[in-house]
Structure formats: structure tokens, C-alpha cells
Structure 1
């Protein structure tokens, strides 16, 4: 009987996770273009649905039985959902950098309620995601709602899609000429590769990392410079 109850609880939990993730997925599909442009004005009209997903995040503690991919997807979705909520709370605005709460930036403000605790966006990214599931591709999963950021995926991450999609999004980002300008002997790349260099050089140089995804083979001796970052809101 005990085993049956445990199985039923597991099935119910999985069903709830899938249902709630579908809510977020549907919002992204409806209000975010395939190029990552967000229609925040129309999203405001469906904010109740976003709040429903945030309520789920606030009250759900990732189970120890969850795979690393499932937990990673959960936390990346949480980061992106709360970033969207923060923008809606301050909309209209020109840039996420304009947001200040008691003198703190958007990334340093504790407001994201997940798994019974309150986090800042920085804490979700660095104290949860990178600390527990180190993966440089996380940088193309989480989104900072700005023009130079890797584009916001117009779908929710799941246990089944996260590995494939993070690789696809990293390839898309690296080869996007508006965000990285790459040739064999000279590269002008996103400041993300400078700010978080430690994440991209764990197993080699930044060029070694880029060559895993770049359509153009970069010389190990290529000249590197970093592009100015566009913090304009990623909205219509």
C-alpha cells in the first residue's frame, strides 16, 4: 500500500510539474517571437497566468529524485519568469538597468520566491544554477531582457529539451552577427565572454569554447575584442 501511495504521489507531482510548465510555455509561445522579441504590452493582459506559474515556483521544492536536467530546467524557467515579472512590474521602460529597488539593481533585489525561499536573480544564476549544475550554456538559457543578451527562448525548458536546446541556442548566439562578429583571425565578441570568462575557460581558452559552436573556425591566435553591450529592452 505504501509503495502504491508513493507511486501515486510521484505521478501527481510529475503531472503538476508538466501542467505548470505548460502554462509558462504557452505564455512564451504567445508573446515572444522566434527571435526573442517580447510583446510585454500583450503579456500584461495575461499576467494572471504568469502569476499562476510564479505561485507554483514559490511553493515547489525540486525533489532529490529529479534529474540534473529537470532541476536545471526548473531554475532557468524560474529566472526567466521572474525577469519577465520584474519588467511587467515596471513597464513601460527602456531598459532593465533603469530598475532600482531601494537602491539595488534588478539582479540584486530579493523578490523571486522559489522553493519556499526568496532569491535575487543573481542568486538563482550563480548560487543555484552555476554552483549546482555548472554549464556555460546556462548563459544562453537565462535572459536579461536586453538587446545584446542571448535571445529569450519562446518556450519553456524541460527535462527532455534542455540539453538539445541549450546547445542550439549557444550555436545561434555565437553565430549571430549582431551579437558576435567572428572571422578566422579577428573576433569581436559579446561582453558576456569577458564578464564571465571563468565560466568559458574552465576547459581551455575562450576561443576553444567558441570553436565548439562557431561556423567559422577561429585561429588560436585570433585577436579578441569585446563589443559594447546594448541594454535596450528586448521588447516591441
Structure 2
């Protein structure tokens, strides 16, 4: 079945160059479960779709006139694709935090080639996605490669789907009781909300932000506790 999907995508891409995002989408549908667990072993044995998409990224120069939704979806997909590559290149692996190259951790290694420029995952996240797009929802879209991170979506983002998908992912994450425990008087939330607190509280309090998506409404002044983070790989 997987070979059929890959052969179809290779044929399709040779006909229609603008369908590159469909290639990445097919990869995610095939190797990422609905729960967000990645079949890194399977991907390592068959990297055709990933390599094809990465070659597309290497040749693509992000346009200055791109819409915000197009740029945001492009950079999120790029971040996720290169995170997968980094893990596959270091596999077998227990945690992404175990990756070290020349004294740099996984996020600071300059290896992601986009439009003939080389970036680190940190640069894409902090200098492009956080700086230019000013949207805290990006944190539930990029692949944290960890058990405690938001569910890694098994689809690619596009300018057409990104707004609806980001809203759905944030709502799902906040109401996931394995990642956040919400009650009216106390919230135990992911470390993500502490690490990127300025993103979530730039306009409102953290409680206000949580209330925007939570099925349980939280009282003003509720106690906020940050949960322990599990860096174990989000693999199957």
C-alpha cells in the first residue's frame, strides 16, 4: 500500500510541480498516526517522499509577496519536514534532546536548506514564525518530536486549511487531559505555555487564552502550574 502511494506521488509530481505540498501530505498520512505518533522506522526504510519534498524546499525561494497564510504554512511544513530528517539521520534515537553536532543541540544545527539558504530549526521558529507571523498557535503546529508536545498533525498545512487547522489543533491540545489538566480553580498546563509565555499573554492573561479554547471555563485568578515535560520521542 505504501509503495503504491509513493509511486503515485512520484508520477503526479512529475506532471504537476505545484503539487509538492501534496507529496508531504501523503508522507504524513502514511507515516503519522491520527494520534500524532511517527513511524520513524518505516520512514527510514523509505525516504523517497521526504527527499522529494526536501529537494523542493531547497529550490523554493519564499516570495516577498506571498500571503501571510501561504508563508506561514510553508515555513511550518518546512520546519516539520526538516525535523523528521534530523531524527531519521540520527535514528535509532530515544529523545530529540540527545542529538548533538559540534556542540550544538538539535534546534541550533544549521542544516535546513531552503531557497539555497541554510537555517537551523531555531531560526525558522524564532526569527521567522514567531517574529513575522505573531501567532501563538504555531506552537501546536510544529513538530516537537516529543511525547509531551502537541499532537503532530498527520497532514500538511496549506494557505486554504491553515486557519481552521490551527484553531482545531489548539482546542484539541488544551482539552487533551494527558497534556493539560483544566479545572475552574486550577490549571495544570504544558511547559510549552511557560517557555512561550510572552506569545500567549501578549494580549491577555494565560487563563484568558486557555478559556478561549477550553471546554471547562477557568476562573480569573486560578492557580497556574506547569507540568513536567516528557521528551521521549513521539515514535510508534
Does the TM-score normalized on the shorter chain lie above 0.5? yes
Structure 2 counterparts to residues 5-44 of structure 1, below 5 A: 16-17=17-18, 19-44=19-44
Counterpart check, 1:95 vs 2:95: yes
- Structure 1 stretches (4+) deviating beyond 6 angstroms? none
Structure 2 residue runs of 5 or longer lacking an equivalent are: 1-15
SS in 1 for 2:187: strand
Alignment of 1:140 with 2:140, yes or no, is: yes
User: Structure 1, residues 83-110: CA drift from partner, whole Å, max 9, x if none?
Assistant: 0000000111100000001111000111
List aligned pairs for 1:69-84, cutoff 5 A. Answer: 69-84=69-84
Distance 1:186 1:106 in 2: 34
**1:156-188: CA deviations, max 9, x gaps?**
000100000000000000000000010000111
Q: What CA distance in whole angstroms lies between the structure 1 residues aligned with 2:17 and 2:216?
A: 43
Report the Cα offset of residue 114 of structure 1: 1.1
- Aligned partner of 1:231 in structure 2 is 231
What stretches of structure 1 of length at least 5 have no aligned partner?
Answer: 1-14
Match status 1:207 vs 2:207: yes
In 2, Cα distance between equivalents of 1:207 and 1:76:
26
**2:137 matched to 1:173?**
no
Partner Cα distance (1:186, 1:29) in 2: 37
Alignment of 1:104-115 (within 5 A): 104-115=104-115
Q: d(CA) in 2 for partners of 1:187 and 1:65? A: 41
CA shift at 1:143, angstroms? 1.2
Quick one: distance in 2 between partners of 1:137 and 1:49?
A: 27
TM-score by length of 1: 0.92
Report the equivalent of 1:191: 191
Deviations 1:99-150 (A, max 9, x none): 0011110001110111221111010001011111110000001111000111
Q: Give me the TM-score of the superposition, normalised by structure 2.
A: 0.92
Shift of 1:65: 3.1
Counterpart of 1:160?
Answer: 160
- Deviation of residue 44 (structure 1)? 1.4
CA deviation map 1:175-233 (0-9, x unaligned): 00000010000111000100110000011111111111000001111111100000000
> How many angstroms apart in 2 are the aligned matches of 1:100 and 1:33?
27
